[in-house]
Structure 1
Amino acid sequence: MRRQWWVVTAVAAVGLWFLISIEPVLMPFFVSMILAYLGDPLADRLEAQGLSRRLAVSLVFLLLTLVIVLTLLVVVPILGRQLGQLIESLPTVLTWVQQTVVPRIQSLTGLDLSTDIDQMRKAFVDNWKETGTFAASLLAQVSRSGLAVAAWVANLALIPVVTFYLLLDWDILVAKVRGSLPRNWEPAAVRLAGECDEVLSAFLRGQLIVMLCLGVIYAVGLTLLGVRFGLLIGMLAGLASIVPYLGVIVGISVAGVVAFFQFGDWLILLGVATVFGFGQLVESVVLQPKLLGDKIGLHPVAVIFAVLAGGQLFGFTGVLLALPVAAMVMVVLRYLHEHYKNSTLYDAGRQRTHDEESP
């Protein structure tokens, strides 16, 4: 038995080393796995309605493609334009802070921050110019490198192809993996896989829908108020809501500053607070109970650590996989903790005391 565990450990170590070695080429495959996992339940439902697997997968694949293409064509250009306008307006904001806010702070506290703000504004303007020059030179260099461009295009082209075939054979792959498990491991493995599927479903499907809905609510509300960069701020706040309360804190802070600087009226802050308060109400009353419940079980600190650790270890691929892997790790840790609480190691002291008290 011990020898079997050594073999399993060695195989796992070699597999981990292999994945780390080929990390630069894994990104399109992991993206395809996530898309296939998200689309498989819909394909199964269409298949249950009498469609063939290939036709069901083709319809799901077409739907995913339309959503991605529409997002790239409609939302991304608007976000990019608003981001550029926001960056261009930051020096003006810093000047306003230096001329309006700093004197009030100085009169109340006696602190002179004008020099620091002025240095910050100058540093931002200088670095922004240098960043633009660096980005232009980098783009020119990449454009001259045909191999880099070809690799980038090839990775993007692989995603739809791999996604289609994974969707087509998803159930077959799952059945083969289950059939390859050692028979005495299968019950525990199937149980863990079921719990991981619940957590991943709640996160990848539920949490993403919650983030999207909050982003739309914030963006529409801020836009109706007439706040500049409403779409950008709303979507960023929706993305930040992956960590509980972070989205509303970031969104209301940035939107409040932008709105007050734009209108110069304290009443606009009440409108901004109303938008984010309505979003929080919808999340707590409708979105969270209906889509998530208590299935994820990831602490906000664990979410932050997982994203940072994944990015540090595997770059962008690690960021993509950080939270799904963290969710599965939490399931395994809960399983191990349950076994530990039922083991003789945990209960040894109580058992020994019971034996000593027994006649």
Structure 2
Amino acid sequence: MLVEANVLSQPPQNPSGNQNSTSPRSRDNAFQAVWRNPYVRVPIFLLLIYLTYRFFGLVSHVFVLALIAYIVAYLAHPLLNWLVRHRVPRGLGVLVVVLLILSMVGLASTLLVTIVTQFYDLVQKLPGLTANFLTWFDTLARKYTALRSLDVQLQALTENGAQTLQKYLLPYLQKYQSALVGGIFGIASSIAEGFATLILAIYMMLDYDKIGLTLIRMFPRPWQPFVLDLSNNVSRAVGGYLKGQLVIAAFVGVFVGVGLALSGIPSAPAIGFLAGLFNIVPYLGVVIAITPALLLAATTKAVILKLILVVVVFVAANQIEGHLLSPLVLGRTTDLHPVTVVLAILSGLALFGIVGALVAVPITALAKLLLQEYYYPSRVYTDGP
């Protein structure tokens, strides 16, 4: 600091003889001297962090739309690469993807109207279904004394459960049912947001590689190889898990819906949709969807046979998911032990609710991959700290 003070105290060298002007170098030195002061830098950094936080708070909705568009582009990128390898221009491939997305949205909107209507009818019938099921189980418990204690617990558990479910679900189902009958995109703002997201996704699909290169260039050059390697690992773990789990969830939904329909269970498409939707979180869809399936099976003829068929369908879906699809689709990089998966889901649910449960497994898979790629080969792990 003393040397800097002496330099700053000397008059600047000006060949023209004008003592009032300062050279660019002296101005740079003055700025650097001020910037080195922590009492100047810390408040500026805090101010920048606060302004960034406020900025993202104001544009968070736009950021979410951009993130959705990027996810669409990310999921479509392998298909576009496949089309390019088969001599299909990328622009034409993007058009094919857009047509597929619009077809899926149209099909989903039609299917969603039917599913919400069936859910509405199912929730309305829940008290009667529960009463019929408890009556049947009470008759069974009278024949088999070992079931009497379980019968009492079931009576206590379901006494007000159906009424409570009706109280909280029916108003929302009525609102969404009326909105869906009027059109899935009947609100102008939804149309505008959907159109804007689609346009963003089209641009991102066309220039997907350039977007990634631009993001990497934001980092200092010495960091770029590490950032590139890290992004590839994140893509393998999180992206690979997301793609694989969507495929598995779609299979579980179709398998459960078709299986229950062939078994003669009412509202089979609605239950299949429920199983597929919640199966984005591993194993959760089967657990949630089996309860209404058993209640509906208890109202049909040949009750015992239908109950057995429901259990067989859900057990088969669970076994195919756990022992065939998960190892085959997700691969070794995201293959986690079932105990690890359950603990991750419970931890995420306890910390951040349903959002935590959704992101818990991919974050755990990423942590496992980072340990394998960076920590285990490091000298800290092999030689100790």
Q: 1:95 to 1:328 in 2, by over 3 A?
A: closer
Matching residue of 1:354: none
Kept after mapping to 1: 8 A contact 2:297/2:306: yes
* C-alpha distance in 2 between matches for 1:116 and 1:278: 28
Residue by residue over 1:300-339, the C-alpha shift from the partner in whole angstroms, topping out at 9 and shown as x without a partner, is 3334554676668xxxxx6898469736863686379717
Secondary structure at the aligned position of 1:184 is classed as helix
Kept after mapping to 2: 8 A contact 1:310/1:321: no
Q: 1:64 to 1:113 in 2, by over 3 A?
A: closer
**RMSD of the alignment, in Å?**
4.2
Matching residue of 1:355: none
Partner residue of 1:43 out of 64, 69, 80: 80
Quote how far apart the aligned CAs of 1:117 are.
Answer: 5.7
Q: 1:223 to 1:241 in 2, by over 3 A?
A: same
Matching residue of 1:351: none
* C-alpha distance in 2 between matches for 1:325 and 1:269: 34
Quote how far apart the aligned CAs of 1:290 are.
Answer: 2.5
Partner residue of 1:289 out of 327, 344, 347: 327
Q: 1:23 to 1:264 in 2, by over 3 A?
A: farther
Gaps of 5+ in 1: 313-317, 349-359
Secondary structure at the aligned position of 1:159 is classed as helix
Quote how far apart the aligned CAs of 1:69 are.
Answer: 1.9
**Residues 305-320 of structure 1 correspond to what in structure 2 (within 5 A)?**
305-306=347-348
Which piece of structure 1 moves more, 338-347 or 89-98? Answer: 338-347
Q: Say whether 1:203 aligns with 2:241.
A: yes
Kept after mapping to 2: 8 A contact 1:196/1:328: no
Quote how far apart the aligned CAs of 1:238 are.
Answer: 2.3
Matching residue of 2:23: none
Q: 1:27 to 1:56 in 2, by over 3 A?
A: same
Q: Say whether 1:79 aligns with 2:121.
A: no
- Which amino acid in the other structure matches residue 334 of structure 1? L
Q: Say whether 1:96 aligns with 2:132.
A: yes
* C-alpha distance in 1 between matches for 2:222 and 2:367: 23
Matching residue of 1:23: 60
* C-alpha distance in 2 between matches for 1:343 and 1:189: 21
Task: State the TM-score, normalizing by the size of structure 1.
Answer: 0.74
**Residues 44-63 of structure 1 correspond to what in structure 2 (within 5 A)?**
44-63=81-100
Quote how far apart the aligned CAs of 1:132 are.
Answer: 6.8
- Which amino acid in the other structure matches residue 196 of structure 2? L
Residue by residue over 1:253-302, the C-alpha shift from the partner in whole angstroms, topping out at 9 and shown as x without a partner, is 43223212323521222212222233234334542232112322563333
Q: 1:14 to 1:287 in 2, by over 3 A?
A: farther
**Residues 215-254 of structure 1 correspond to what in structure 2 (within 5 A)?**
215-254=253-292
Task: State the TM-score, normalizing by the size of structure 2.
Answer: 0.69
* C-alpha distance in 1 between matches for 2:157 and 2:230: 55
Quote how far apart the aligned CAs of 1:225 are.
Answer: 0.5
* C-alpha distance in 2 between matches for 1:335 and 1:267: 49
Residue by residue over 1:101-124, the C-alpha shift from the partner in whole angstroms, topping out at 9 and shown as x without a partner, is 568879934959879866556656
Matching residue of 2:306: 268
Q: Say whether 1:188 aligns with 2:226.
A: yes
Secondary structure at the aligned position of 1:243 is classed as coil
- Which amino acid in the other structure matches residue 19 of structure 1? F
Matching residue of 1:301: 343
Secondary structure at the aligned position of 1:261 is classed as coil
Kept after mapping to 1: 8 A contact 2:281/2:357: no
Quote how far apart the aligned CAs of 1:239 are.
Answer: 2.6
Secondary structure at the aligned position of 1:56 is classed as helix
* C-alpha distance in 2 between matches for 1:336 and 1:46: 32
Secondary structure at the aligned position of 2:333 is classed as coil
Kept after mapping to 1: 8 A contact 2:348/2:359: yes
Partner residue of 2:106 out of 69, 75, 89: 69
* C-alpha distance in 2 between matches for 1:268 and 1:202: 37
- By relative contact order (CA 8 Å, sep 6+), the higher-ranking structure is 1
Partner residue of 2:70 out of 11, 23, 33: 33
Secondary structure at the aligned position of 2:286 is classed as helix
Q: Say whether 1:169 aligns with 2:211.
A: no
Q: 1:20 to 1:128 in 2, by over 3 A?
A: closer
Residue by residue over 1:212-260, the C-alpha shift from the partner in whole angstroms, topping out at 9 and shown as x without a partner, is 0111011100000010111111221223333333333333343223212
Kept after mapping to 2: 8 A contact 1:79/1:231: yes
Secondary structure at the aligned position of 1:279 is classed as helix
Whose Rg is larger?
2
Q: 1:96 to 1:164 in 2, by over 3 A?
A: same
Kept after mapping to 1: 8 A contact 2:241/2:362: no
* C-alpha distance in 2 between matches for 1:233 and 1:174: 40
Q: 1:206 to 1:10 in 2, by over 3 A?
A: farther
Q: Kindly, what percent of the aligned residue pairs are identical?
A: 23
- Which amino acid in the other structure matches residue 73 of structure 2? A
Which one has a larger percent helix, Structure 1 or Structure 2? 1
Q: 1:151 to 1:180 in 2, by over 3 A?
A: same
Kept after mapping to 1: 8 A contact 2:241/2:330: yes
